[in-house]
Amino acid sequence: MPTVALTTLGCKLNFAETSTIGEQFLSRGYSVVEFGRAADVTVINTCTVTGNADRECRQIIRRARRSSPDSVVIVTGCYAQLEPGQVSSIDGVDYVVGNGEKFRFFDLIGPLERQLYPHVFVSPVNGEDNFGPASSSDADGRTRAFLKVQDGCDYQCSFCTIPLARGSSRSQTIDATLHQACDLTRAGYREIVLTGVNVGDYGRKDGKSLLGLLRQMAAIEGLGRLRISSIEPNLLNDDIIDFVAGNSKLCKHFHIPLQSGSDKVLREMRRRYTTAHYAGRIHAILERIPTCGIGIDVIVGFPGEGEKEFEETFEFLANLAASYLHVFTYSERPRTSAASHPSGVPHEVRARRSDRLRDLSRRMKQTFYHSAIGSIVPVLLETDDGNGWRTGLTDNYIRVAVPAHEGVENTLVWVRVTGMRDDHCTGTVVSKEPS
């Protein structure tokens, strides 16, 4: 039986798409082996959000060739889409496949064979390409599935290459999404996470909306929980907040990109909101859902971010009742307007500012986790960690560990939170299957 090894860099959307690629190989008689083992075919699904992502892609490609020298190496994803020449120049790559072609390996390539020179299948992504339905499970077993409902982006943020790599915004139909969600529920997944490049833009071009999709998905019999992966602040309206607040299946958790707490920098980034609007969205959420988990993306060291602008960002974030930050150090991306900005920030300054915000994030998370002590919360249990504990996530995105004997994997339980240990809370199960 032929074998295939798959690995993914980047976002949950990429992971969902890699899972679908793997299913195509399985349907053709391949068995999937762990990346790093010898395989007949190796597929690497890449990211190019930052310069570090590009470097990691190149390292992974070289590692694949070392660990499996006779493998047919296929590189796909955003790095392959944007820089096919760079990817094809890496020793050992056999095929470079763009985002518009990533679900058509076998139609395009035919027999998968080692090549003397890389074969490149990359065409412009214009939004008319096959949507490519995709879903994947989390790393801890069949508890949580990531379902792709949207792809591409019509925004033109000055630092971002995603519209170039993935094309214009487009959405999967509600009927197709419901069909996939029902299949995932029947397969035993208790939580579905909606993913995409700009999930809040779902259905806009077809007269539909994310709220309409949420309403229909929440009605799926047997589905335990439904979570939104990330949503832009200008698309997070009161109706969505109210629906999440009032429906027991919707996870009380929002991840909302900010990028900067300085209005000057937001304008340079070409973001579609002000800090006042963003703060208003956080206030609206917490007014309706006081225990809601709120995650924030922030970019540090964007060109033109002086000490004044960074301190504005720091103070803005420090005064928001958020749960955690995802801190990204700005990286110049080719073909973006920000890359040619004359006021670059020295790399050592970017690193220092990133450290400060990551320290702030740790304190935010500790405060948020500590606030849960004494409460009884719903937890979706995952696998046994091997040390006598079984962990899981609350609906508001707090990781909780309970004694392993108190619950089984892939089960929703009520847990009384009793304390904190390292990067998670601890507790005891008080009842099974919260409604």
Q: Are 91 and 192 in the same domain? A: no
Asked if the model's pLDDT at residue 65 lies above 50, the reply is yes
Q: Are 185 and 265 in the same domain? A: no
Say how far apart CA 327 and CA 81 lie, in whole Å.
Answer: 25
Q: 429 to each of 249, 252, 379, 392, 432, how far by Cα in Å? A: 20, 20, 9, 12, 8
pLDDT digits (tens, 9 = 90+) for 128-186: 555 666 666 554 456 889 999 999 999 999 999 989 889 999 999 999 999 999 999 99
pLDDT digits (tens, 9 = 90+) for 287-342: 999 999 999 999 999 999 999 999 999 999 999 999 999 999 999 988 899 988 88
**CATH number for the domain harbouring residue 338:** 3.30.750.200
pLDDT digits (tens, 9 = 90+) for 32-41: 999 988 999 9
Q: Are 179 and 117 in the same domain? A: no
**CATH number for the domain harbouring residue 73:** 3.40.50.12160
Structure tokens, 305: 């971010």
- DSSP at 250: B
Q: Are 88 and 9 in the same domain? A: yes
What does the pLDDT read at residue 133? Answer: 61
- DSSP at 1: -
- DSSP at 404: G
Structure tokens, 54: 């590009």
The burial of 175, by beta-carbon neighbours within 10 Å (0-12 exposed, 13-18 middle, 19 or more buried), is given as: exposed
CA dihedral over 98, 193, 362, 299, signed as positive or negative: positive
Amino acid at position 86, single letter: Q
Q: Are 136 and 21 in the same domain? A: no
117-131, 187-201, 288-302, 406-420: segment of lowest average pLDDT: 117-131
Mean pLDDT value across residues 403-423? 93
Mean pLDDT value across residues 5-15? 87
Which secondary-structure segment (H or E) carries 413? strand 412-421
CA dihedral over 25, 84, 136, 200, signed as positive or negative: negative
Q: Are 9 and 106 in the same domain? A: yes
Closest CA to 212 of 176, 174, 179, 161: 174
What does the pLDDT read at residue 286? Answer: 98
Q: Are 367 and 380 in the same domain? A: no
Q: Are 360 and 386 in the same domain? A: no
Q: Are 146 and 240 in the same domain? A: yes
What does the pLDDT read at residue 417? Answer: 98
Q: Are 17 and 71 in the same domain? A: yes
Closest CA to 357 of 242, 212, 258: 258
Say how far apart CA 152 and CA 196 lie, in whole Å.
Answer: 8
Say how far apart CA 398 and CA 323 lie, in whole Å.
Answer: 9
**CATH number for the domain harbouring residue 224:** 3.30.750.210
If DSSP codes are grouped into helix, strand and coil, which group holds residue 59? helix
CA dihedral over 296, 302, 304, 306, signed as positive or negative: positive
Closest CA to 353 of 392, 300, 282, 284: 300
- Of the three residues 64, 96, 121, the one that is the final residue of a domain is 121
In 10 A of CB 5, how many CB atoms? 23
**CATH number for the domain harbouring residue 423:** 2.40.50.140
Kindly give, in sequence order, each residue whose CB lies less than 8 Å from that of residue 385, ignoring residues fewer than 6 positions away: 391, 401, 404
What residue has token string 């390409």?
129
What does the pLDDT read at residue 422? Answer: 86
Tally of domains within the chain: 4
CA 84, 60, 165 angle in degrees (round to 5)? 35
Percent of the chain whose pLDDT exceeds 70: 96
pTM of the entire predicted model: 0.89
What does the pLDDT read at residue 357? Answer: 98
What does the pLDDT read at residue 143? Answer: 84
Q: Are 344 and 415 in the same domain? A: no
Q: Are 345 and 380 in the same domain? A: no
pLDDT digits (tens, 9 = 90+) for 212-227: 999 999 999 999 999 9
The burial of 405, by beta-carbon neighbours within 10 Å (0-12 exposed, 13-18 middle, 19 or more buried), is given as: exposed
Say how far apart CA 136 and CA 258 lie, in whole Å.
Answer: 27
pLDDT digits (tens, 9 = 90+) for 333-385: 888 999 888 889 999 999 999 999 999 999 999 999 999 999 999 999 998 88
Query: DSSP alpha helices (H): ranges in 230-274?
Result: 238-246, 263-269
pLDDT digits (tens, 9 = 90+) for 228-250: 999 999 999 999 999 999 999 99
CB 390 within 8 Å of CB 407: yes
What does the pLDDT read at residue 140? Answer: 46
Say how far apart CA 313 and CA 311 lie, in whole Å.
Answer: 5
Range of the domain at 152: 127-251
Percent of the chain whose pLDDT exceeds 90: 69
- Of the three residues 121, 145, 165, the one that is the final residue of a domain is 121
What residue has token string 């929002």?
254
What does the pLDDT read at residue 130? Answer: 55
Looking at mean pLDDT, say which of 14-23, 84-93, 111-120, 272-281 comes out highest: 272-281
pLDDT digits (tens, 9 = 90+) for 292-306: 999 999 999 999 999
